[in-house]
Structure 1
Amino acid sequence: RNLWGTGWQQSDGLRGVIVYNTDLFDSATIASLRHHFQTLLEGIVVNPDTHLSALPLLTSEEQRELLQRWNRNSSSYPANTCIHQRFEAQVRQRPTAIALQFGSQQFTYEELNQGSNQLARYLQRLGIGAEMPVGICLERSAEAVAAMLAVLKAGGVYVPLDPGYPPERLDFVLKDAGIAVVLTHKDWADSLQTDTTTVICLEQEWDKIAQESDENLSTPGTADSLAYIIYTSGSTGTPKGVMVPHRAVNRLVCETNYVQIEPSDRVAQVANLAFDAATFEIWGALLNGAQLTGIEREITLSPLAFVTELQQQQISILFLTTALFNQTVSQIPDAFRALKYLLFGSEMANVDRVRSVLQQGKPQHLIHVYGPTENTTFSTWYEVQDVSENATTIPIGQAIANTQVYLLDANLNPVPPGVNGEIYLGGDGLALGYLNRPELTASKFVSAEFSRLYKTGDRALYRANGNLEFLGRTDSQIKIRGFRVELGEVEAVVAQHPMVQTAVVVVREIESDRQLIAYVVPISAIPTERDLRSFVKTKLPAYMLPSAFVVLDTLPLTANGKVDHKALPSPNLAVAREINPTVAPTTSLEASLEELWTQLLGRKQMGIHDNFFELGGHSLLATQLVSRIRDRFQVELPLRSVFETPTIAELAQKITDSSLINRPESLSGRREEVQL
């Protein structure tokens, strides 16, 4: 309606004037569109029987120039070195420098190297050899980092396993990856037992491990060898293992263009080990001679404690998921002022939050990053210098070094700037494919005329300045608090419940928090929300659990028989309630807490004995709840209070406890592990 032509048809051809709204388009964009339209018309004349979608908008010469520009992104880095070999080079240069600090534990580069050498030899005695998978089921710790190094030094492939995953999911990964040995602690040993897996409880084996030689090993291996396998959500109902080689990790953190990590830097280790951001944190520090500093999860979830810890530990480089970035900045806009680099990404950025950081406390470098696991953590970067008044998104920028970013149409032809296309990724960061999934690998890792590429399913367009603007997905994959979630996997699991006939899962935004909502059609008897949640909890990790379950007689359909997502009712209208009656607030304090819960959870029906987490709460929402309680009641509750007393009645009692009023409790007194 804002761009059209008039008087095109003339006796000697097509001629006319383009009328456009200058509030929406500039003259350069219109000139470009006119040129592309002319190219399209010429293609129609030459190939009148060709489908319109197959006709190019760019001439052959323009396509060649565009591909050459996208390919012009190489830099010199250790492309032929294994991860552990690069680490050993750092050990020789700075043996006494601190490599790791987790709490009160500190280890030098030499100590970390020696300990991982001993564990590597121990693993070899267990039969671990070239490219054999080894499970690592440990919390973030110096021990976990040493285990990763040891597996690589032994020639193996490490497979990070989250101890908080349901046993059924852990069992699937162990069997799918063919894991013969798992390194863990006795607390998690029972959930890792299979007929073919040897479970090693490290705290019980250190005496034997310490008897091994601490000299470097000479295990053969190349940069093309597998380094790790990391599992992500799968659309078919089961997770899929992404196989990442050594070279891809080196390309991510060594001699690159988006970040310069130096030996004087301290890199925070915040990410779960089963989340590929940990790849950047751990190897970014250790392959560049910097110090890796672990920060406890409860601290990262409490903005004030988090900022204090960053300052006390003198952190200079930090990566945060967009959700955690938003959470922290909403309460402390200048939280990251002292950082050298703050990188954030994994979801659509909140423009207002980014703008407040620039205005009130910008780090030296504020970097917005984008990238799927299949291209090793990060693929593009954009340094945020300012955010315009009318901005609605933050660009994802341009390719990181030794990575190619192509924007292609359905026929794998390049699209011109300003035109919507799908992101395809190439270069040295590419994974080798999906473990045991040759058909999926063939469909996602495609051979184009100019390169082997990963088909991301992400839509974007190139702006005239060369920066990419992210537009969304071509499928039902989403991001929840930084984790990749295939809605199809969640739907498949919900539908496995014996009382469910069919299910559909959608994402809704409540109070700027993205939440999963499951709509179910029962077979006959109606399952309760608690039954459904308990069932799904045994099969999916916490971040994939729906916040609400809505029971419907039938799913609404469109005219062509597909589920009509727009016609799905609000979760408040038909939540699967429990048989027990809802107990209303009995005091003004309970009523105020109910109001806060309603705001955060997006629900209207809840009782004072309902569990915050069973109603869809999670750790980031718990942090917001603590903040709002502090603002409203002038009471400082530690985050763990929400986990220990997760009902309105219990929290109200906690608040009225006179020993807590105006007496902030130290976060250092007790360590809590909560799902981020």
Structure 2
Amino acid sequence: MLHDMIDNLEHLAQSQGDFPVYNILGEVHTYGDLKADSDSLAAYIDVVKLPAKSPVLVFGGQEYEMLASFVALTKSGHAYIPVDQHSALERIEAIMEIAKPSLIISVGTFPLAVKAIPVIELTQLKDIFAQKTSYELTHSVKGDDNYYIIFTSGTTGKPKGVQISHDNLLSFTNWIISAEAFSVPDQPQMLAQPPYSFDLSVMYWAPTLAKGGTLFALPKELTTDFKYLFDTINQMPIQVWTSTPSFVDMAMLSNDFNAETLPHLTHFYFCGEELTVRTAQKLHERFPKARIVNSYGPTEATVALSALAVTDEMLKSCQRLPIGYPKPDSPTFIIDEEGRELPHGQQGEIIVTGPAVSKGYFNNPERTETAFFEFDGLPAYHTGDVGSMTEEGLLLYGGRLDFQIKFNGYRIELEEVSQNLNKSRYVKSAVAVPRYNKDHKVQNLLAYVILKKGAGKQFSRELDLTKAIKTDLKDIMMDYMMPSKFLYRDSLPLTPNGKIDINGLMSEVNSR
């Protein structure tokens, strides 16, 4: 059992300093490198004299320097805020406004002009690493200190910063490295594909660093070139694949993605969205001896709260795969609208309790008070998911309570998409609606749009109008939030309260 993430890394640097910790397209860094580089940066951060325990924003992609910066910040007592370099400008601005970071480490090119906050750019960062300054651990992140803060989608149009403490992270890490469901290999060779701003990344880096393994980074740029992507994956000696089901669906577009081409690949870990029976069956056909793990959990409960290894019987008999057995230290319950625990088999809201539950949203007490509470004397979180529990303690998923959805692994709140659509100069009113496939998975996002007066007359085709709206919003909305189809209407149905009837539109879209 781990007691301290950094102490464990220090031990690994001593016991296997020459062993690779990070491999990004053939550029290899060892555990010794990680210690030396993070020590140098931690020493520099101490000299800068940032406010104690203040959060630091780290901006970039899948570069090694991202990981080294995270470790350095943990050593120097600061939480890190990972922000992906492909983020929309408005999202970055919102995170800056909410988090008020004391420092920015810009591994990628930071797109905003910043005056009041110090910025360490990549060239300076490499110079700091090169100094090989020794460092004594005296005030590293521990206990209830924030380890990282990950920003998720927010209903007000502003993202929410989920605070994950060192204790929260230990709860998750000790579970994943010991649970039979995952059966993490020793010194695991893991694919590092989900961006660090997505907490699914913790499912690959935490067990890998805990057990002295190697991360094989897959930069996002590769995913736009299928041939290069598949060629790169096929050359990786990975044992463990961690991704959303959507990403493995894309990988299976290549006929070479199979056990013959990738003989070392024996474990698949899925989270972030629903793993359908169809995807699991297809993957099982490609990798008949591999362990396929279905896990579930919100960011607010530290990555995942339940998991199971998918069996042949489940693939034959289940219409919807179970989402696992809750981790032992995180009692999970099904409650009704009054907050009372429901009997086995009855459907209600899934709530999770225990040491992996976040302390709340950073600098957002109102949203924290709404989502976090106490249950049976333990810290608890309202997942907003509908589910039920079998008598054996197996968790079954039944959808969302609200209008928050998972699409391609990203959590999206429909209200945020709608608010962003309304920022286009051509749009008077708009609402985003998900279309589901028969596997209960979001197939695509649709936008119902009422145009401003005269806007439609500026374009000879609806296609050109849609392109113009998307161009209008490209710096405001993340790519994964952009609806794939725009439907133009003169009016939209309203509820008795005068609000757009989203439920009615969802029924209309999904009854076709």
Asked if structure 2 preserves the Cα contact closer than 8 Å seen for 1:341 and 1:363, the reply is no
Asked if structure 2 preserves the Cα contact closer than 8 Å seen for 1:508 and 1:515, the reply is yes
Describe the SS at the equivalent of 1:489.
helix
**Sequence identity of aligned pairs in percent?**
26
Indicate how the Cα distance of structure 1 residues 281 and 129 shifts in structure 2: closer, same or farther if over 3 A, else same: farther
401-410 or 451-460, larger mean C-alpha shift:
401-410
Query: Paired residue for 1:177?
Result: 99
Structure 1 residue identity aligned to 2:35: N
Deviation at 1:181, TM superposition (A): 1.4
C-alpha distance in 1, partners of 2:437/2:369?
38
From 329, 334, 345, the counterpart of 1:402: 329
Query: Paired residue for 1:420?
Result: 347
Query: Paired residue for 1:119?
Result: 41
Cα deviation per residue 1:227-263 (whole Å; 9 max; x = unaligned)? 1111100011111111110122222223431334344
Describe the SS at the equivalent of 1:148.
helix
C-alpha distance in 2, partners of 1:497/1:309?
39
1:350-365 → structure 2 map (5 Å cutoff): 350-365=276-291
Structure 1 residue identity aligned to 2:388: L
Deviation at 1:561, TM superposition (A): 5.0
Cα deviation per residue 1:2-60 (whole Å; 9 max; x = unaligned)? xxxxxxxxxxxxxxxxxxxxxxxxxxxxxxxxxxxxxxxxxxxxxxxxxxxxxxxxxxx
C-alpha distance in 1, partners of 2:321/2:506?
31
Query: Paired residue for 1:448?
Result: 375
Query: Paired residue for 2:115?
Result: 195
Cα deviation per residue 1:261-305 (whole Å; 9 max; x = unaligned)? 344321111111111111121222112211112124355577776
1:217-616 → structure 2 map (5 Å cutoff): 217-254=137-174, 255-257=177-179, 258-297=181-220, 299=222, 309-310=232-233, 312-329=235-252, 331-332=254-255, 334=258, 338-386=264-312, 387-509=314-436, 514-526=443-455, 528-557=465-494, 563-565=500-502, 566=504
Deviation at 1:308, TM superposition (A): 5.5
Asked if structure 1 preserves the Cα contact closer than 8 Å seen for 2:412 and 2:481, the reply is yes
Indicate how the Cα distance of structure 1 residues 306 and 188 shifts in structure 2: closer, same or farther if over 3 A, else same: closer
Describe the SS at the equivalent of 1:90.
helix
Cα deviation per residue 1:67-116 (whole Å; 9 max; x = unaligned)? xxxxxxxxxx33x52x3223212223322222111122212211210111
C-alpha distance in 2, partners of 1:206/1:264?
27
Query: Paired residue for 1:145?
Result: 67
Asked if structure 2 preserves the Cα contact closer than 8 Å seen for 1:236 and 1:489, the reply is yes
Asked if structure 1 preserves the Cα contact closer than 8 Å seen for 2:200 and 2:272, the reply is no
Indicate how the Cα distance of structure 1 residues 385 and 224 shifts in structure 2: closer, same or farther if over 3 A, else same: same
C-alpha distance in 1, partners of 2:194/2:371?
26
Asked if structure 2 preserves the Cα contact closer than 8 Å seen for 1:139 and 1:273, the reply is yes
Asked if structure 1 preserves the Cα contact closer than 8 Å seen for 2:59 and 2:82, the reply is yes
Deviation at 1:509, TM superposition (A): 4.4
C-alpha distance in 2, partners of 1:194/1:374?
30
C-alpha distance in 1, partners of 2:276/2:77?
43
Asked if structure 1 preserves the Cα contact closer than 8 Å seen for 2:6 and 2:74, the reply is yes
Deviation at 1:201, TM superposition (A): 1.0
C-alpha distance in 1, partners of 2:370/2:191?
36
Q: TM-score, normalised by structure 1?
A: 0.68
C-alpha distance in 1, partners of 2:294/2:125?
43
Indicate how the Cα distance of structure 1 residues 303 and 440 shifts in structure 2: closer, same or farther if over 3 A, else same: same
Asked if structure 1 preserves the Cα contact closer than 8 Å seen for 2:384 and 2:402, the reply is yes
Deviation at 1:560, TM superposition (A): 6.8
Query: Paired residue for 2:57?
Result: 135
Query: Paired residue for 1:643?
Result: none
Asked if structure 1 preserves the Cα contact closer than 8 Å seen for 2:39 and 2:134, the reply is yes
Cα deviation per residue 1:449-475 (whole Å; 9 max; x = unaligned)? 342210000011123443111000000
Query: Paired residue for 2:461?
Result: none
C-alpha distance in 2, partners of 1:175/1:560?
33
C-alpha distance in 1, partners of 2:412/2:122?
32
272-281 or 298-307, larger mean C-alpha shift:
298-307
Deviation at 1:354, TM superposition (A): 1.2
Structure 1 residue identity aligned to 2:357: L
Indicate how the Cα distance of structure 1 residues 560 and 390 shifts in structure 2: closer, same or farther if over 3 A, else same: farther
C-alpha distance in 2, partners of 1:205/1:407?
48
Query: Paired residue for 1:24?
Result: none
Deviation at 1:127, TM superposition (A): 2.2
346-355 or 554-563, larger mean C-alpha shift:
554-563
Indicate how the Cα distance of structure 1 residues 144 and 303 shifts in structure 2: closer, same or farther if over 3 A, else same: same
Cα deviation per residue 1:105-151 (whole Å; 9 max; x = unaligned)? 21221121011100111122222353211111111011111011111
Asked if structure 2 preserves the Cα contact closer than 8 Å seen for 1:243 and 1:432, the reply is yes
Asked if structure 2 preserves the Cα contact closer than 8 Å seen for 1:145 and 1:282, the reply is no
Cα deviation per residue 1:454-506 (whole Å; 9 max; x = unaligned)? 00000111234431110000000001100000001111122233443322110
Describe the SS at the equivalent of 1:87.
helix
C-alpha distance in 2, partners of 1:222/1:321?
30
Cα deviation per residue 1:167-208 (whole Å; 9 max; x = unaligned)? 2221221221111211114x623x132332222112244334
Higher relative contact order (CA 8 A, sep 6+): 2
Structure 1 gaps of 5+ residues are 1-76, 572-601, 603-676
Structure 2 residue identity aligned to 1:269: A
Asked if structure 2 preserves the Cα contact closer than 8 Å seen for 1:532 and 1:549, the reply is no
Asked if structure 2 preserves the Cα contact closer than 8 Å seen for 1:338 and 1:363, the reply is no
Indicate how the Cα distance of structure 1 residues 486 and 363 shifts in structure 2: closer, same or farther if over 3 A, else same: farther
Query: Paired residue for 2:133?
Result: 213
C-alpha distance in 2, partners of 1:388/1:509?
21
Deviation at 1:530, TM superposition (A): 2.7
Structure 2 residue identity aligned to 1:120: A
Query: Paired residue for 2:9?
Result: 87
C-alpha distance in 2, partners of 1:546/1:439?
30
Query: Paired residue for 2:459?
Result: none
Query: Paired residue for 1:168?
Result: 90
Q: TM-score, normalised by structure 2?
A: 0.89
C-alpha distance in 2, partners of 1:308/1:400?
37
C-alpha distance in 2, partners of 1:303/1:500?
35
Describe the SS at the equivalent of 1:161.
strand
Deviation at 1:166, TM superposition (A): 2.1
Cα deviation per residue 1:333-360 (whole Å; 9 max; x = unaligned)? 7357642321113222221221233344
Structure 2 residue identity aligned to 1:346: G
Describe the SS at the equivalent of 1:554.
coil
Deviation at 1:533, TM superposition (A): 1.3
Asked if structure 1 preserves the Cα contact closer than 8 Å seen for 2:385 and 2:398, the reply is yes
286-295 or 323-332, larger mean C-alpha shift:
323-332
Deviation at 1:401, TM superposition (A): 4.1
C-alpha distance in 1, partners of 2:496/2:89?
42
Deviation at 1:568, TM superposition (A): 7.6
Indicate how the Cα distance of structure 1 residues 313 and 370 shifts in structure 2: closer, same or farther if over 3 A, else same: same
Structure 2 residue identity aligned to 1:137: F
